[in-house]
Amino acid sequence: MQTTFPRLLLDHAKRRPGAAAMREKEYGIWQTTTWAGMAQLVEAIACGLHQAGLRRGEHMVVIGANRPRLYATMLAAQSLGAIPVPLYQDAVGAECVFPINNAEVRFAVVEDQEQVDKMLEIRDRCPQLSHIYYDDPRGLRNYDQPGLGALEELMGAGQAFAKIHPQLFQQQVDMAQPDDVAAMFFTSGTTGNPKGVVHTHNTLIDRAAVGARFDKLTENDEVLAYLPPAWIGQNIFSYAQWLVAGYVVNCPESGATVTIDLKEVGPTYYFAPPRVFEGLLTTVMIRMEDAGAIKRKMFHTCMDVARRVGPDKLDGKPVGLLDSIKYALGNVFVYGPLRNSLGLSRVRVAYTAGEAIGPDLFSFYRSIGINLKQLYGSTETAVFVCLQPDNEARADTVGVPCEGVEIKLSDTGEILVKSPGLLKGYYKNPEATAEVLTADGWYHTSDAGFIDASGHLKIIDRVKDVGRIKGGANDGAMFAPKYVENKLKFFSHIKEAVAYGDQREKVCAMINIDFEAVGNWAERRNLPYAGYTDLAQKPEVYELIRECVEKVNADLSRDELLAGSQISRFLVLHKELDADDGELTRTNKVRRGFIADKYSVLVDALYGGKTEQYIETQVKFEDGRTGSVSATLKVDDARTFAPVKAAA
């Protein structure tokens, strides 16, 4: 599909001007923007930006949640041949300095007062940042800063300019070529500064079109855009595929109303990382534990049937008559109401990606009739590398290579990809580009894995993270930390985990409890607590977490490859790992090396045989203040199991 995003927009506006393009919930009411309305919005913003001095090839940052006018702003920049650079709205000001300076950004369009304050705070470190426009004017009436203005005013100026120069917008759109740069996405930067991943219209549109054909997406589908637009996954699902397939994108009122909005919208196409599916399941299980005995009994009885029958029914496999009747009854009394309660009753296709999902979590959703599948990709590949076909969804694979993709494995087991969706390069970083892109067009994913007998790709871990146990009974055994961490995180009481073991004689783990789930568990047992730190160190909580760890160990003992990765010792951290404290990336991935350095005293305690360790940690609060949290942490042993040998 050789075209550009603005041309796709104008094509929809011409063919179906009155059809809904986007909806936004404002003050509890859904407001619709048609395709014709979106085209008019884009033209007004584009002409306003042109008049203000934005030029072809220049970068412009966009910061905010999913909002129709911010999407229109990205389209407006692309219409002028400029390059939108979405940044994470929850990033602190200091995190925006490098991208803005690296891309020599003069123009920023942001959502609201919070983002304006952030831009003004860093302006002295970004002297070229001359224009800041905001969408939501609340709280900004008395702001008087040079170059600061409302998007509404910019649009007014653009509309006046368009009346005098009626051909300019179309001329600018016509100048763009499919191989022009369309957008730049900054990686989350687990080590060092983030890298700007450069994508063309061609790479993004090609992958979006492949995904749309694969799942037969049409203009009748609906999505809920609730994840950060700066993350390429959200950008592909609610921007690139939106313009390719022409479906409706719904923007929730706020992060706090997503669950309610999900039920109101009833999307047919849904995407969420595993942590969102984990959170939904945790909420369900908490509610069931609080329900009466009869309801609990009915739920667990029906779920036993669902786990046995549901995935086969979804995959189109034959199911016995009695099981079909039981499942139909379960659908009336449990699965249907549960899907409706989750807001997933109309979902035709649901995807998860970003990290591995626990097999029990995966099968839970499929067992209640939700077509949950996995995909594999990255920012550098424009997301779509592997997809799971309907009837071939499995928890332990990420699907088959999708249209146009070639995969091969290096001598070290690293996955190499060739695809029409590969990045053009890292911005101003030819050395980093040369490290990941070979001369003959293969991209180094840094992931270790293999293609199984059915042609599906299996991911083990990051190549750099796959290690070996050194010394002891498991000397030389493979250690895959992310695999172990994901197994721990399946349990609703565990929110985050960090495992260590490479070049050590045993595996140890630091664990974050899920405060809501464990708090609810404690309250039902009349166990008093004074907050996260207090609850985390309760002996009863340690016993609860030990049970989870030992279940993981029992499971690992049955895996011939990873039986040596069983967890010998663990502790429960006194604070939640947080992106603001540098412990997680903005996409909530663990920064394992950073955590090892920051909590080196705890790592030493785990491996030094200590039973407790005092620690004091500086934390950053949401309002920007800093403080400290201290506690004496218990360090506990966990039972490990002898490897179970497969039957001959």
Q: Between the CA of residue 224 and those of 75, 242, 249, 338, 581, what are the distances in Å?
A: 19, 11, 6, 19, 29
In a domain? residue 604: yes
The pLDDT score that the predictor gives to residue 385 is 97
Decide if pLDDT at 646 tops 70: no
308 Cβ contact list (under 8 Å, min separation 6): 323
Alpha helices in 331-480 (DSSP H): 336-342, 359-367, 430-436
Q: Please compute the mean of the pLDDT values over residues 339-362 and round it to a whole number.
A: 87
For residue 310, tell me if it sits in a domain: no
**pTM of the entire predicted model:** 0.81
**Interval 414-419 mean pLDDT:** 96
- Amino acid identity of 75? L
- Tell me the one-letter amino acid at 61: V
Q: Of 210, 239, 271, which closes a domain?
A: 271
Single-letter residue type at 357: I
| High-pLDDT (> 90) share of the chain, % | 76
380 inside domain: no
> Per the domain annotation, does 541 fall within a domain?
yes
Mean pLDDT of 471-481: 86
At which of 271, 299, 321 does a domain end? 271
Q: Report pLDDT for 1.
A: 66
Q: In CATH, what number is assigned to the domain containing residue 198? A: 3.40.50.12780
> Taking 80 as the threshold, does the pLDDT of residue 622 lie above it?
no
Q: Is the per-residue pLDDT at 129 higher than 70?
A: yes
pLDDT of the residue at 645:
67
Share of the chain residues as helix, strand and coil, in percent rounded to the nearest 5: 40, 20, 35
What would the pLDDT profile of 131-172 be if each residue is shown by its tens digit?
A: 999 999 999 999 999 999 999 999 999 999 999 999 999 999
What pLDDT does residue 625 have? 80
Q: Spell out the residues 6+ positions from residue 47 whose beta carbon is closer than 8 angstroms to its own.
A: 157, 158, 159, 161, 162, 165, 168, 169
**CB-based contact 110:119 (threshold 8 Å):** yes
Task: Indicate the residue among 271, 301, 334 that finishes a domain.
Answer: 271
Query: Is residue 344 assigned to a domain?
Result: no
**Any domain includes 176:** yes
Whether residue 376 is contained in a domain is answered as no
The residue that leads in pLDDT, 621 or 22, is: 22
Domain range for 512 is: 467-637
The predicted-structure confidence for 543-571, as pLDDT tens digits, reads as follows 999 999 999 999 899 877 788 999 999 99
Q: What is the pLDDT of residue 647?
A: 43
Give the pLDDT score at 19. Answer: 98
Count of positions (residues) in the chain: 648
Report the chain's mean pLDDT, rounded to a whole number: 93
Q: How far apart are CA 364 and CA 98, in angstroms?
A: 42
CATH number at residue 619: 3.30.300.30
Whole-angstrom distance, CA of residue 506 vs CA of residue 566: 8
The span from the CA of 99 to the CA of 620, in Å, is 22
Residues 216, 195: Cα–Cα separation, whole Å:
33
Written as one string, the DSSP assignment of 200-242 is EHHHHHHHHHHHHHHTT--TT-EEE--S-TTSHHHHIIIIIHH
Question: What domain count does the chain have?
Answer: 2
Q: Give the Cα separation of 353 and 375 in Å (integer).
A: 6
pLDDT of residue 489: 86
| Identity of the amino acid at 419 | S
pLDDT at 561: 76
pLDDT band at 480 (very low <50, low <70, confident <90, very high): confident
- Rounded Cα distance between 538 and 406, Å, is 51
* Whether residue 190 has pLDDT greater than 70: no
Residue 553 belongs to some domain of the structure: yes
